[in-house]
Amino acid sequence: MPPELSLTAEPDPARPPRRRLPRRAVGLVLPVAVLLGIELAAQLGWSGSRALPPPSEVLRTLAGFGGQALGSHVLASTARVAGGFALGSLLALVLGAAVGLSQRVAAWLDPSVQALRAIPSLAWVPLLLLWLGIDETPKLVLIAIGAFFPVYMGVASGFRGVDRKLVEVGRLFGFTPLALVRRVLLPAALPSVLTGLRNGLGLAWMFMVAAELIAASSGLGYLLTDGRETGRADIVLAAILLLALLGQLSDSAMRALERRLLVWRDAFDPSSVH
């Protein structure tokens, strides 16, 4: 009888195991290589420093802002993202759950939400300016709009995708509708809900830039505008670098929350096929 096939190869005792870089270090290889290439090209005079400043010049620009001034821009943008994301995701959780749990609510509400989802972010800016002025309110509302739709889609699809057998088992145990939602539907839909929240947070950072282009006097979007108007590519790249770092930090926090809340899930491990 032929031996059973195995997805994992047995280690060879005669061959020493290969050392692999940690996963976090592997993710840094490509961006570090690109930055080193840009720095080397600038030092050798192969690229114009005005159009594409080297990383060393971008770092000097960040240092030139000063800790307090730079911190105020980062804090302003972070506060807007936090407020807009909280507002949009909270509304999306309520409406998405209602649409996912009720066909009648879905028939009334979902077509309008899907139509609004197709509207580009910048199309909301003139209307928000006319309705809400140029203070903080339109910025928060625009960020909330950006965060709303991915969270809504994740929540609605998560509840709709719950295995019907789980619901039937809950009914056999005599669960009330509220207990059925809390003990069966919500845990089963939680992976999709968390994915929607994670995507919504990413879009909140994107919409924040559009929001700060309205009439902001602080924030990373303001730095982008200032760099564009003064012809300073180093300021633009510095703001982009900060946006990338803040987005990565917030996404890492959401991934940590996801791992903590979904510790019960027996998910597929890609490393098991190697």
> What does the pLDDT look like over 104-117, one tens digit per residue?
999 999 999 999 99
How far is residue 152's CA from residue 49's CA, in Å, rounded to a whole number? 44
DSSP state of 45: T
Lowest model confidence (mean pLDDT) among 141-145, 146-150, 176-180, 242-246: 176-180
Return d(Cα 33, Cα 39) in angstroms, integer: 10
Residue owning tokens 């800016």 = 125
CATH of domain 54-262: 1.10.3720.10
Q: Average pLDDT over the chain, rounded to whole?
A: 84
Average pLDDT (7-20) is: 54
95-132 CB burial, b ≥16 within 10 A, e <16: bbbbbbbeeeebeebbeebeeeeeeebeebbeebeeeb
pLDDT score of 45 more than 80: no
| pLDDT score at 5 | 47
Q: In 179-191, which positions are buried (b, 16+ CB within 10 angstroms) versus exposed (e)?
A: ebbeebbbbbbbb
Q: What is the mean pLDDT of residues 223-246?
A: 89
7: confidence class by pLDDT, cuts 50, 70, 90? very low
* Domain extent listing, the chain: 54-262
